[in-house]
Amino acid sequence: MAPGASPSALLEGAASYVEKHKVFQLFEGLLEDLIIKRPEDPIDHLIKALKRPEVPRVIIFGPPGAQARLLCEQVSAKLNLVHVIAGDVYRDLAKAGSALGKEAKALVDGNQEVPSEMLVKLLHEKLYSSDCTARGWVLEGFPSGATQTRAMLAAGLLPKTVIQLSLSDEEVVRRLTGRRVDPEANQVYHVTDSPAPDGIAGRLVQRPEDTEARVEERLSLYRDAMGGAAPLFNKVLKDIDIEGKSEAAVLEEVLPYISTEVPTKAPRGCPRVLLLGGPGSGKEALAAAMAERFGAKLVSALELMQAAVLSGSPLGRHAKPYLDKGIPEEVPDEVLMPLVAQRLDSEDIRKVGFVMVGVPQISSQAAALKKMGVWFRHVVYLQISPEDAKRAVCDTRYDPVDGAVYHPEGAWPEDLEVVARLVAHPHQSPAAFNKALKRWEAVEPKLINAISADCEITPEDATASHAELLERLTPCFLTL
């Protein structure tokens, strides 16, 4: 930070440093490790902890029929994690010569259950083994309820990601009651999803646990047990709806959530969100919805310029010709950036954060924001095909009476009188759209490169509904 910088600039610089280097997460993780392990030499322990690589620690669970084991196997193979099956841990440890593993194996060989307390100790030994700490792990079959969850967390077995696979009761029943087994080949089929060949269909049987009554009983037990366990993982829990999705689609959806990123309870300050997108992406409307929904302030380049024009200020007079022609993105940097700087320096922005849209539009504006000390916690890029973008822009119609906006693929008036008076905006003609798209395609690569040098950019589908996007972007506004 330059000498003589203002107090607000110093605060911004400090906040940016803390965010960039994940200072809160670092110290929280070290403190958590100390409290759980209570080493004799805390300093030496911390030095070693800082040298250890962060690896994924994952739990995957779901109702009967959700194929949690298959997903664990896929995640293990894809990310080279150790697949730990809770019910087999005693056997693995016994083979490795563990005294506790041999004790548990003796119980199982004697037709006795392994007590939960012993199982937690077995898991602790396994999950802290050299292989698991070096590669990371994905755990299946544990915990089976709130009691085991509390015991697990108290023992310091802290997952970074917990994936809960969700299915409706009806789908669980359909999946399981439709299963049939070939007793000769031990091959599993499904009456509708994967029917058996005609030659063997006659010898298929339904297993007792797949009858409707038994499935409903198993499902009820699962709902009761895991209903109390899931909230205990709230900080790291991700619920994945897998109904109607292929195995490949489920894996693709799950993988981004499995990372070495450490969730933190530390204060993160106010949201600082940048929304990017080309013509037709609907970024202005979404930014306004985000600001309203989450209580942040909207920083819209278009609104700032419109306000300046209405005020009759010198900057507004310079911006007016561009707004009149429907090309606000061509307003010179020396006109736009002072308006943005003034807005970002206001007290309400510092208190509740912002959602920025419409700037930067080009790489020089990104550089100007960086020079001003402006940084972002989240950058979201609304992506849309040229065809979808053109429909979104050129098919929009306006009611000249009340200014209402309509689109054939969204809200459309039922009153034929209203339909008859709808008009297209001259700035949203096909020719105007094509010009705007060509301009965006020319500047987009350099703009994205300039921003991604300092921030991770999250792509989102601009054709999704605002309700869906607001739900997906909620983490941008959480102050944990």
Confidence of residue 213 (pLDDT cuts 50, 70, 90): very high
CA angle 40, 41, 42 (to 5 degrees): 110
Residues 356/275, Cβ–Cβ less than 8 Å = yes
Query: What percent of the chain is predicted at pLDDT more than 70?
Result: 89
What gap in Å lies between CA 134 and CA 124, rounded to an integer?
Answer: 15
Q: What pTM value is reported for the model?
A: 0.51
Backbone φ, ψ for residue 407 (5° rounding): -150, 140
What gap in Å lies between CA 273 and CA 352, rounded to an integer?
Answer: 12
Confidence of residue 23 (pLDDT cuts 50, 70, 90): low
Locate the DSSP E strands across 252-341.
272-277, 297-300
What gap in Å lies between CA 9 and CA 1, rounded to an integer?
Answer: 8
Side-chain-side CA neighbours of 217 within 13 Å: the count stands at 7
Question: Positive or negative CA dihedral for 233, 258, 268, 344?
Answer: negative
Q: What is the pLDDT of residue 235?
A: 80
SS3 (DSSP) at 243: coil
SS3 (DSSP) at 269: coil
Any idea of the CA torsion for 467, 473, 475, 479, to the nearest 10 degrees? -80
What gap in Å lies between CA 403 and CA 127, rounded to an integer?
Answer: 62
Q: Burial of 358 by CB count in 10 Å (0-12 exposed, 13-18 middle, 19+ buried)?
A: buried
Closest CA to 248 of 461, 383, 75, 61: 75
Confidence of residue 13 (pLDDT cuts 50, 70, 90): low
Residues 339/256, Cβ–Cβ less than 8 Å = no
SS3 (DSSP) at 82: strand
Q: What is the pLDDT of residue 259?
A: 61
Q: Taking residues 457-470, report their average pLDDT.
A: 90
* Distance from the first to the final alpha carbon of the chain: 28
Q: Taking residues 76-83, report their average pLDDT.
A: 92
Q: What is the CATH number of domain 12-257?
A: 3.40.50.300
Residue ranges of the alpha helices (H) in 386-455?
386-394, 416-421, 430-452
Q: Burial of 295 by CB count in 10 Å (0-12 exposed, 13-18 middle, 19+ buried)?
A: exposed
- CATH class belonging to 272-477: alpha beta
Locate the domains of the chain by residue range.
Answer: 12-257, 272-477
Residues 446/362, Cβ–Cβ less than 8 Å = yes
Strand partners, 179: 190
Task: Evaluate if residue 318 carries a pLDDT over 60.
Answer: yes
Q: What is the pLDDT of residue 26?
A: 65
Question: Positive or negative CA dihedral for 223, 225, 228, 231?
Answer: negative
Radius of gyration, alpha carbons of the chain: 28
> pLDDT for 139-179, tens place per residue?
999 998 999 999 988 888 889 899 999 999 999 999 999 99
Question: Positive or negative CA dihedral for 233, 238, 243, 247?
Answer: negative
Do the two domains 12-257 and 272-477 of this chain adopt the same fold?
Answer: yes
Q: What is the pLDDT of residue 170?
A: 95
Residues 188/179, Cβ–Cβ less than 8 Å = yes
Q: What is the pLDDT of residue 304?
A: 95
Q: Taking residues 206-212, report their average pLDDT.
A: 93
